[in-house]
Structure 1
Amino acid sequence: MTIDGRKTIEIQRLNTPLTIKDSRAYDRHGNLLNCTETLSDVRFIIEPKENILTDDEILQYAHDSKAASEIRLKRGIGEISDVLLINESLPWIFAFYYVILACIAIPIVYSGNKFNMFIILVLALIPLIYSYKVFNLNNYMENKPDKPKVSIKEKIKPKTTNMEQAKTEVEQPIVEDVGLESLKKYKTEVHNLKVLFDLKEEIVKDLIEKRFEPPQITYDKFISMIDTSHKLFYNQHDSALNIIKFAAEDTPRVESEIQNKIDSMHKIINLLEDLTNELVININDDGESTEEVKNLLEEMENLIGSVKEY
């Protein structure tokens, strides 16, 4: 299997909703997932497999995973929540440690033995010192920035006024997360479908070029159909996001319209996937395209026509 093919399967696995059965969670391939329990919540996380996705792809497709937390910490953009995620058992270990220590310390305190009390104090400080090391975000960074040296001229340089500072700074646009809260659950699904479509579109175009080396009429027909599918997919994608963003109220009709857009996006992606599989099977065929590929092309034409009519 090619690298692109492995990436496609892995991205599908990461973006497919979990299957819950008998209080257990499973991924797309039926693999049992471990429960991750932090101080704030309990959840099941699909961890990316090693040596398939790049760090940037892990941040994009597995944002909530431990692997993504480790990458953010190494890059210096991590937070305490990332440290807690990759050290999820640490708070419970500390709690158990201090309970045991308290049980030992109580009779020692009543006995008044100062040396033993000093030992207890040292034992109580050890987890705190270790915590400082664990929760110091700078310790995780691969390339720690050197502290810049300040020249004498910079030290005596007069401070600029707020107005002067405002003139030199570049204003960052403020992005407001608008829309009904009840509809935002669809936003992630729409985004994931877009990512998946872009990846599959790139793969299928490459396969078409290898299978029907241009210039050929068949090549032109396939590429034209893929381009039309692209426009249609993004039309459904943009329409779904506009409904999510601007709908005044959450009604059955609004949710039905969003779901129709999502279903159309799924159908286009599924046909691209079927076409990819057929092209891979027939990549070395010297003759004209197989009957299966022709049928898929007709299915794409019919789908495009039906969605346009809708």
Structure 2
Amino acid sequence: MTKICNNCGNEVYDEANFCPECKCTTFRYTGELVEPKDDVIHRMFYWNYPQGSILAKSKLSGIVMFISMAAFAYATSPSIPVAIIFGAIFGVITFLLGFIIHKIKGEPQPNKLIFNDYGLIKDLKHLFFYWQTPNGGYVQSKTKIFSFCIFLGAFGIGLFTFNNLIIFSAILFALIFEVPAFAIGFGIHKITSDDSNVKPELPKRPKKEIEKKKKIPKITTRRTKSDIIPEYLDYQLQLDDLNKKFTSKEKSTRDLIAKRFEPPQLTYTRFITGVDKSSQLFKKHRDSAYTMISLADEYSPRIASEIEAKIGILKEITEKLDSLSNELIVKDSLTTTEEVDDLIGEMDNLIHSVKDYE
């Protein structure tokens, strides 16, 4: 099974702990994506893409303009056919202008498509009161809320001011105050805001849609050596060799500690804890390096550099564990806390330095 990176939209294997493109650690499974809906609501208000559906501002604007101008025409000349034709002309023109802008902007980013289509009401709420961030998340928009309040206030004043064509005139009056306020707020938002780290909300798909998903055969992270890119094959062999060495050294060190110190002695616990930490750290960086090799479809100096760094860390951990084992063999007895601290101090320092590197 594959999954999609929440940050850049890159598709990776299920077992990957991070995205090789941007290092993001949060994902969304591709199996959760559903076919674009083809109901009346989606035809009228959405644009459909392979990755998902998103509200179509050009369609919404066209519909609103049609209703507004049809109402205006009917108020001046109570004829339904005339009102429909008049509204349709302005509605179509508005839609076409919006559609041209939509085509110029191009297809929305994958993240924005994935984190949409929550239902018409919620999507409208997001559109009118929230900003959508580059990674798909939503943050409440003070600009939109403030400008909406200005619109309502000006609209109320307009209703009590104009005698003819009350509603339409009140709307125009409200827009005169609301549009500049929104434009100023939007500019301030673009200059001062940084929403790149906003955590996106995962779409909650209906259970019926999830049950219809086809089971995709699980894809293993590790490739066979024949499938690995030639430039990374040497790294794979180094990792295999280091893994064997560390596994063997870890077992012998644990056996040695068990022979020298009887649990639950404090000395035994301290040494075993140090070995446990080094083992966890080794496995973490080993699996990370294997994942990068498995996901790479072509050679990249950046990926190669990261793998080399991981291999360097694995070598250091193995060497420190080997050093600890040798010291335990050489020293006949450990009688003071200082001697124990000296033996495991280097291992602790290495663990802390690696964590600082991460």
Q: TM-score, normalised by structure 1?
A: 0.41
